[in-house]
């Protein structure tokens, strides 16, 4: 069993906080889209969720899997690429939402 330090727990707590805040902001933006039927707000909400919550979930889940199944260590870079592509997609949607006419 791996012994975790206080710093490890602090990183985990901060990461979890970022996940929760990202989801809250994304859901609020989605609620704004539903309330105002604004297409740009829809792109903004999906972009925020892709930028924050989804990549963290993939990274965290991948880290757990890799910690307990070392044979899958070769896939670490694949998970990193997937998380970065999702973040890129989130930023692209946010940028698109800023230029789309309502």
Walking along the chain (102 residues) 10 residues at a time, the average pLDDT comes out as: 79 84 86 87 91 86 81 87 94 93 76
Contact 41, 97 (CB under 8 A): yes
pTM across the whole model: 0.78
**What six digits make up the tokens of 61?**
């889940």
Contact 52, 18 (CB under 8 A): yes
From CA 46, how far away is CA 60, in angstroms rounded? 20
Q: How far apart are the first and last CA of the chain?
A: 54
């Amino acid at each position: 069993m791996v012994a975790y330090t206080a710093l490890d727990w602090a990183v985990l707590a901060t990461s979890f906080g970022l996940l929760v805040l990202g989801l809250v902001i994304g859901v609020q933006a989605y609620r704004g889209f539903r309330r105002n039927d604004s297409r740009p707000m829809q792109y903004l909400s999906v972009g925020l969720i892709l930028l924050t919550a989804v990549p963290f979930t993939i990274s965290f889940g991948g880290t757990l899997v890799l910690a307990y199944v070392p044979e899958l260590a070769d896939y670490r870079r694949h998970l990193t690429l997937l998380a970065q592509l999702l973040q890129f997609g989130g930023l692209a949607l946010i940028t698109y939402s800023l230029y789309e006419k309502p």
